[in-house]
Structure 1
Amino acid sequence: MINSNKMFFLFIVFFSTLISISSNSWLGCWIGLEINLLGFIPLMSSPMNLLNSEASLKYFLTQSIASINFLFTIMLNFLFINFYYNDFFSILINSTMLIKMGSAPFHFWFPNIMEGLSWFNSFILMSWQKITPMILLSYCLNFYYLIFIMMLNVIIGVIGSFNQTSLRKLLAFSSINNLGWMISALLISENLWMIYFLFYSFFLFISCFLFYMTNIFYINQLFNFNFNFLMKFSILLNFLSLGGLPPFMGFLPKWLVINFLLINKFIIISFIFCMTSLIMLFIYIRIIYSSFMFYFFKLKWFKMFLKNNLIKLTFFFNMISLMGLILSTFFFDLFL
């Protein structure tokens, strides 16, 4: 999945995140973000693939603009001590972090870059690269600004998912949609954000791992399956978990967020979140229905043989996903 000569850059990406989140000054956070950028670009770029090189250049330009904005805001804070307590400072910091993580309305670079990445790099970009901006966002929250941003995220994530033929772009818009949920979890509690992020990263890892093993990048490739039915069932079951359908594990973190929103009397926001989740489920179910209808469409020159260990692993993933209803019932009193 990753070459041994790029393992060094992977460690840089991981440790730069720790530098940023453990720093006690904004300048230290900025240094950690810059080290993260310099570590992730060699992971993305490949001389054998022009799309990877194009994606790494776009990523570098976007992140550099966000870093310049961040440094400018830090310098303003140093020049004007009382500026820290202004809403303007918090909006500047929040906007910079939203650009860094690819949130709406600064999301235009995110799906384009995702299209040029491998599944491993896509997973890193959609999960690990969001940790530092989200934690820095929690240091300086502007409540009303972020409420508008999280509603914009869930709506744009749904609108962008329509008529997508690329699975990487579909997961990119799904990530934007889930980012709205994560921001709302962050406004409620950092522990709730951590629970949501861990669940989301787990299901995202399953999706990227299965797509990597089957070498699938586009939706029409789902129709040409000619191997074990359990593998196909796993991929499509994981779509339902990502959408947050109630019997599955992906429902638990969304249920917790909706529960806390209703406790705090955010009725309209809860309604928008639920409706956008239903539309996302409609998009996923439409893909699932089509691919199951075309299950018997087989090509003689399209053969794929998978090892028994991989089939057992997919069965294990299915069991974890299906345990969601039991776990959510068990932890209901604990979280309330």
Structure 2
Amino acid sequence: MTNPSDMRGTDEAAQLQAHSDPAENPVIASVLNDPSLSEQDLPQGDARAIESMGRSELLRRRFLRNRSAQIGMVVFALLVLLAIFAPMFYQYGPFERDLRNALSGPSAYHWFGVNERGLDIFARTMQGLRISLVIGLGTAVLTSFLSVVVGIVAGFVSSKGRWGALADGALVNLINLFLVIPSLLLLMLFSPVLQQRSWLWMIPLLALFAWMLTARVLRAMTQQLVRTEYVEAAKFMGVHPVVTMTRHILPNIASWIIIDTTLGVSGAILGETGLSFIGFGIQYPQVSLGTVLQDYNISAPYTWIPPAAVLAALVISINLMGEALRDALDPTSGASRL
């Protein structure tokens, strides 16, 4: 078919055809005759495997192929195993005192040394790692749940007429209210009171002041999705709004939620560690990485370098896995190619 915008003459067209003809151009002919580039030589089993590969298998291959993901998984798995099994086999507990070796360096009996109160630093670090992991994972999951509920509902009802606009405005004002509240002061005020009941209260307390920005993003994404054809079709077919949100909207933003939740674990761990370090987080008879660092002695580096290294390794490993997961879920990323 002739292209009307092509103003080339017949001589130029003949010359172009000669350059693209394998018989005239030896470079093209060599490429076409290369047996290593022939589609017929491709293994049929591999071709069928790629065609039948599901989304979960594709994401798994993309994620595991990333070198950052491999490093992050190894470090994170090692820290989790240490947090679970090290306190079971280590000869000292987090509150056992050895005053004779107070403020002594690492040894065969005290792997990370002993602080000036006679407490074993390795035992306290492993116990603190346990609690920090539980608080980080629990806070990230609860924060994502609050963000999903508020963000999706606000974005979905915003197109439901006058009453929907009022409900959306109320939820947006709630988000703005929590954004301007001095969260650090409230955490410092309520944390010691709730710690008297259970240290698990740190999870909802941290999540209460960490969901707002994610909710705003999810609201904007939902407002774009409600204008799509399949959501409009579901609305005209009389599908229940809850079913529409769970079946048609939530799966389309699930990848972003997963990434935000993964990266939120490290943020929650750092938040809890900071509060515990200044004395408003985990309290006795429990211990976290922040309380271990609280007992530092600047003239004895072994009192703070080992727990700080464990905290840094934990946060970095989680961030490495989060970044690799983002690359695997992003179709425009170079790391997402097979």
Using the size of structure 1 for normalisation, the TM-score is 0.30
Q: Which has the higher helix share?
A: 1
Greater relative contact order (CA < 8 Å, ≥ 6 in sequence): 2
Question: Which structure is larger by alpha-carbon Rg, 1 or 2?
Answer: 2
Using the size of structure 2 for normalisation, the TM-score is 0.30
